[in-house]
Amino acid sequence: MTTAFIFPGQGSQAVGMGKSLAEAFPVARAVFDEVDAALSQKLSSLLWDGPIEELTLTANAQPALMAVSLAVIRVLESEAGLDLKRDAAFVAGHSLGEYSALAAAGTFSVTDAARLLRIRGDAMQKAVPAGQGAMAALLGAELDLAREIATAAAQGEVCEAANDNGGGQVVLSGAKAAIERAIALAGERGVKRAMLLPVSAPFHCALMQPAADAMREALAKVAMKAPVVPVVANVGAAPLSDPDAIRDSLVAQVTGTVRWRECVQAMAAAGVTDFVEAGSGKVLAGLVKRIVAGSAPVSIGTAEDIAAYKARNA
């Protein structure tokens, strides 16, 4: 098996995502209906009609992106004969996408994944008062340099590497003043570009500890099965199959660095040559291209993408 299925995280949301799938395939519509029921909210209407400001709220974006990803997987199963256990070497997801990966691989039900992501989104939003935290993208910086900048900028405040996305793209997270100092330092250290990100909270840093505590409590109450295919976890950048280890990793992920570059490298080193992004947008496919030379990742998020995938694999 040389294929890995990967699942996008926050930032890939867009009004209209998943709509063509729901209109064309009853199995996709069933996923959106299940998520609506799980959350007691017509989230599907928000996905398809907006407004984008409400969809982008962390508590909405996280279960919404998972719903689209799982709709893609269900359609691939019904229309293209996909069997992850047979056809995939690994699954992996970027931040909240790890929950999508685990739901696709059978660790969580779609209902449990939706409820966990609603809890996660709420807890991450509430962990830090509005305006006190920030995140910044450093473009043209590798992880070691980004960490040096974060350490120098901290000055007693939290400033940490949140995402190592690959291709010279690292995201810092922490206290607003420290992140602003990091942006100024980045220019002095030769970083090509440093910019504040339009996010509502400083994700994946120590300031998220209250959210990690909330997820530890929530995950302890949810039934988890071993995934049918190993998940390459964000914080360890290594495959996991044991439910207890997965639970611990998901808790650690809230405050830990998303080691996406290393996750992709680990899958490639294990023999993966084909990466399939299941869900909204093409962000992860773009990152994979920069991490694995010569790769040609595929993104599947629409009915048209399903048809193209079926044609390629006929």
**Of 94, 204, 249, 280, which residue is the catalytic one?**
204
Residue 135's φ and ψ, nearest 5 degrees, are -135, 150
- Of 63, 57, 82, 62, the closest CA to residue 72 belongs to 82
SS3 category, 191: coil
CB-side exposure of 244: number of CA atoms within 13 Å? 0
Residue 214's φ and ψ, nearest 5 degrees, are -65, -40
**Of 12, 44, 69, 95, which residue is the catalytic one?**
95
Side by side, the strands of the sheet bearing 133-139 are 159-164, 169-175, 133-139, 193-196
DSSP string of 217-275, one letter each residue: HHHHTS-----SS-EE-TTT-SEE--HHHHHHHHHHHHHS-B-HHHHHHHHHHTT--EE
Active site residue 100: no
Taking CA atoms, 270 is separated from 51, 110, 156, 264, 292, in Å, by 42, 29, 40, 10, 13
- The CA angle 33-35-36, to the nearest 5 degrees, is 65
Taking CA atoms, 227 is separated from 131, 202, 309, in Å, by 38, 30, 24
Residues 162 and 253: their CA atoms lie apart, in Å, by 10
User: Is the separation of the CB atoms in 204 and 174 below 8 Å?
Assistant: no
- The CA angle 281-42-276, to the nearest 5 degrees, is 25
Active site residue 94: no
Q: Which residues are annotated as catalytic?
A: 95, 204
